[in-house]
Every structure is written in structure tokens, then in C-alpha cells.
Amino acid sequence: MKALLFPGQGSQSVGMGSDLFKNFDLIKKIFKDADQKLNYSISKIILEGPESELKLTENTQPAILLVSYSIFRLMKEEFNININESFKYFAGHSLGEYSALVASGSLRFEDALTLLHARGKSMQEAVPQGKGSMLAVMGVKIDELNKLIDEADRESGICEIANDNSYSQIILSGDKKAVNNVNEILKQNKKKTIFLPVSAPFHCSLMKPAADKMENKINQTEFKESKYELISNVTAKPTKDPLIIKKLLIDQISSKVRWRESIEFMIKNDVNQLIEIGPGKVLSGLVKRISGKVLTKSINTIEDIKSLND
């Protein structure tokens, strides 16, 4: 049994998907359609940069969707990869959940583009620049980390777990001072930490204003019943129900991404191969840290797609 995975923010790079764009008219058309839908050239930002433009959250989110969706369409229409027969679950990391929904037939690509552009802008505007922070913590179990957060100075603000990525990587998010305080405790305990170069503290309660802004937009968008089981970031459980999916997408903006639990759920339910579609290899790396029992493949070049038939 196989599952498809779709990456989130941090996987982007200038020039991603360029070999696909140069070689296939289908991809040129998808990129052109995206430009028209967004009323600006997201394709130029993806293919030429500058990196500073691509890193803007309101651009990053639709850009990663565009590249992931392009690869998915190419697999099906140019390389005749049969998705129906062997794939049971679809899952995406944060914004990757939108890519998974588009690929599973639940959400129109054009609607996902506009939702992600608005989502990125709302998340960016939810917290003033420089007020928030995100910190990657390595080699600390989640229960131990929760205990350290509880012991830290509560008056310095919010510090919450944003991403439970794997047994060896957890991401914290919140007010800069509060995250700094927890980082100091971790350093005293000789734990490895890295501050992330992000523009806002994603997936914590500080993102509630962004969730409130997106609620109407998501609820007013048409979602269909998914053809595949979608593993939600919020619950780490599957659903096909469009009403449940809408609620979970709203909650997801300010909630923890339960990625480790999502992967473990799929493995427990007979998935033995996980295929990452989109730029980079971040999710494949995380899967390897979660379990050595499953095969992983990252698909983002023509050669990668050809290897699926091997």
C-alpha cells in the first residue's frame, strides 16, 4: 500500500520545477493559468526569483502548491502513473494539505491557489514583524519538551509546539521572548536548537486572527468528497467529508501539525511506501527519522517520475 505526501513551507527554492516547465506544454499551461488566477506572475517568481519574493509567505504557499500540482498532473497525464490502484492515503504538511486536497479531487486547483495566497497574507499579518519566533528543537521527546515549556516564564508570552515532525525534530512557535526563554533552558540542558528564518510564528495560538480571517473564505469555497482518505494535520486521522475538511483547515492555521502521528497512523494501516510529490526532500527525510520500515521516494524531476515505473 502507498501514500502520497505533499510538502509545506521551507521546501521552496528559486528554479523549482524549471526542467518540467521547459519540457512540457502541460506545465507551461498550468503555470500560465496560475498567473491569470492570481493576477500576477507567480511563475516568474518561481522560475527566476528573486528569492526574497519567493520567501514572502503569500507567494511561497501558492508557489509550492503550483509545483506540487504540476508534478502530480505530469505523473498522471504524461507518464500514465496509475494513482487509483495502489494509493490509499494522501497527506500534506501544513500548506501541503491543500495540495493533497487538490490531488484527491476535493478542491479545485484555482480555488486552492487563491485560498493559499490569502492564507499566507493573513498569517503574515497576524503578528507584527519581529514579535514572533520559531525554534527547531532536536533530540527532545515531546512530553519532556511540554514540561520545559510549562516550567518557563509564562508572563513572557506564548510558546507552543507548532510541528511534531519526528522523534528527533519538534518546532516551537510563539512570542519571541517566550521562545527565547525556552531556548535558554534547552541550552542549559545541552540540547541542540536552531531558530528558523521565518517571517511569523506559524501554527500557534498567535495565528488565531489569521484563522478568523480565513474562516469565511474557506467556508464559502466548494469542497467535494475526497476520492482518497486525507490525513488531517490537526487530528492525524483520515477523513473524506468536505464539511469536516473545511473545519480542520480553519483549525490547522493555529494548531499543531501532527506529522509524526500522521505517518505512524499510515504505517500502522499497512502503508509501506510513501511518495513525496513537490519541491525538495524534507518530508522524505522526516519519514526516515520516524520509521525505517517504509520506503520513501521524492519526486520533483523528470527522472524521478520515470523511476516510479521501475
Give the catalytic positions in this structure. 94, 203
Scored b (16 or more CB within 10 A) or e, 11-45 reads bbebebbeebbeebeebeebbeebbebbeeebbeb
Side chain identity at 70, as an amino acid letter?
S
CB 305, CB 20: distance < 8 Å: no
Q: Distance between CA 201 and CA 300 in Å, rounded? A: 28
Strands, sheet with 192-195, edge to edge from the N-terminal-most edge strand: 159-166, 169-175, 132-138, 192-195
Provide the H-helix boundaries in 127-166.
Answer: 142-151
Helix (H) or strand (E) holding 230: strand 229-231
> Mind spelling out the 3-state secondary structure of 238-301?
EECCHHHHHHHHHHHCCCCECHHHHHHHHHHCCCCEEEEECCCCHHHHHHHHHCCCCEEEEECC
**Can you say how many angstroms the Cα of residue 81 is from the centroid of all Cα atoms in its chain?**
23
| C-alpha cell read off for 141 | 521527546
Q: Distance between CA 32 and CA 180 in Å, rounded? A: 43
CB 103, CB 90: distance < 8 Å: yes
Whether omega before 50 lies within 30 degrees of 0, making that bond cis, reads yes
Nearest to 21 by CA among 54, 43, 45, 53: 43
Q: Distance between CA 164 and CA 172 in Å, rounded? A: 9
